[in-house]
Amino acid sequence: MSSLQLDDFSDLIERPDAGVRRDAEARRERQTVPAGALGRLDELGEWLAAAQAAVPVRPVERPKAVLFAGDHGVAGLGVSARPAGTAAELVREILEGAQPVSVLARRLGVPVRVVDMALDCDPGSLPEDVVRHRVRRGSGRIDIEDALTAEEAEAAFRAGMAVADEEADSGTDLVVLGDVSVGGTTAAGVLVAALCGTDASVVTGRGGVAIDDLAWMRKCAAIRDALRRARPVLGDQLQLLATVGGADLAAITGFLLQSAVRKLPVLLDGVVVAACALVAQRVAFRAPDWWLAAHVSGEPGQAKALDRMALEPLLDHGVRVGEGAGGLLALPLVQAAAALAAELPETPAKTEEPQEAAAE
């Protein structure tokens, strides 16, 4: 019997402080640059002020990229441009500094944390701090079997919560959240289609490394078959993640919800994170108020999920690579919004000139 009560998140998660946001808006109206002249940067600065409960807003000085990693059994159907079971290679390249997220993180001075939840490799081949939360080796083939057992789904969800607590306790002030997976976008498509009540073709994209037409058709068929298995468990979000998600997706969902509990702002990267955010929204409807959509990934499932949550992406540069790269590209925009909101001077208050003494 599970002791994890997802309904508790609805009570634990509060919205960012509306009173502080009004104060931030009022302060913005007093600044020398006319309100609205900075476009969406004004909105971002006010959102950050409310999330921090601080006016003027504090600079974002300790961001971190957190990437949850896992392999998915459905990749064995040829739905990905990468061979099944090779996500560990991506993880090693990230740790060695050879992936786009690594380059961007170095340039921006942002630490990258990779959390192995279900990589299909010997755990001894990766650093201990990467593998210590692992739940299993790979996830089940979701078109014909469950991704996880109920116990594994809960363990992964709790691991995500624990990572969120670790980041909040260590002073991280904003998280760029991403995934490192092979087959993950297929699982994400199933979750989005199930929660949005649509069919497979609407959410099936071509992945970070674009697949050809035959692979797209295989992917669409896999999502269709997994969707049949997902619909009967839509009322139980943890069971949904166990049935058609995966350990990395369950952990991301737990991370998102616990981050909202801890009032830790999160930048959402691609379709996998967006799908998990949609699951988390089903658990606690106020949770999306703590998240920003970093960029348009080109995946139709991401667009569907973000639209359902009313989250508008900050950037649209056609970046499809995943692994948090698009999230890091959006980070300087958020930091710029904070700096402008805090540092632009206010218009001096007008003082009345003393009336001249009446002539005698």
Q: Is 151 a catalytic residue?
A: no
Report the alpha-carbon distance of residue 196 to residue 40 in Å, rounded.
Answer: 28
Number of residues assigned to the chain: 360
Give the gyration radius of the chain's Cα atoms: 22
**Where would I find the beta strands (DSSP E) of 183-242?**
none
- C-alpha pair distances (Å), 24 with each of 50, 185, 290: 8, 38, 17
**Domain architecture of the chain: domains with CATH:** 63-337 (3.40.50.10210)
- C-alpha pair distances (Å), 247 with each of 39, 193, 333, 335: 39, 19, 31, 32
Longest CA–CA span in the chain (Å) reads 101
Check if the beta carbon of residue 155 is closer than 8 Å to that of residue 117.
Answer: no
Report the alpha-carbon distance of residue 355 to residue 126 in Å, rounded.
Answer: 78
Report the alpha-carbon distance of residue 31 to residue 8 in Å, rounded.
Answer: 41
Report the alpha-carbon distance of residue 20 to residue 58 in Å, rounded.
Answer: 13
Among the options 154, 323, 352, 353, which is catalytic? 323
- Look at phi and psi of residue 207 and say left if phi exceeds 0, alpha if psi is from -120 to 50, else beta: left
Closest to 167 measured CA to CA, from 17, 25, 62, 301 = 62
pLDDT, one tens digit for every residue, the chain (360 residues) = 457 899 999 999 999 999 999 999 999 999 989 988 999 999 999 999 999 999 999 999 999 999 999 999 999 999 998 999 999 999 999 999 999 999 999 999 999 999 999 999 999 999 999 999 999 999 999 999 999 999 999 999 999 999 999 999 999 999 999 999 999 999 999 999 999 999 999 999 887 677 889 999 999 999 999 999 999 999 999 999 999 999 999 999 999 999 999 999 999 999 999 999 999 999 999 999 999 999 999 899 999 999 999 999 999 988 888 899 999 999 999 999 999 999 999 887 655 555 554 444
